[in-house]
Amino acid sequence: MTGIFGTLLALIASALCYLASPRQHCLRKPMPIGASLSAATVCMVAGGSLWCSQAGVAAGVCAAVGALAAGLALMPFIGAYWRHGVRSGRQGVRSGAAPSQTP
């Protein structure tokens, strides 16, 4: 169970790092860089320590960094989906309807 919480904390850390980036697609303005990176560091240390307590130091660090990397790799896609799919309310191709032909 601690591995699941460690993974969730590492994924939260990756989301906080992404939302502090000036090129993120989820928010109109990026989050304040100091506060979000500090919170991401706290989440990553907590997640790494949870993993280390369950799997040992080497495996724990590897698992926490792997979860952080996976989150950072997926966040641009999640942000693009959030920005262009869900928030705009467009149905378009995702629902099977033909896209509108506006001249």
For residue range 51-69, list pLDDT tens digits in order.
Answer: 999 999 999 999 999 999 9
**Measuring CA to CA, which residue among 14, 48, 20, 18 is closest to residue 35?**
20
The whole-number pLDDT of residue 28 equals 84
Separation CA 70–CA 64 (nearest Å): 10
Residue 1 predicted with pLDDT over 90: no
pTM: 0.77
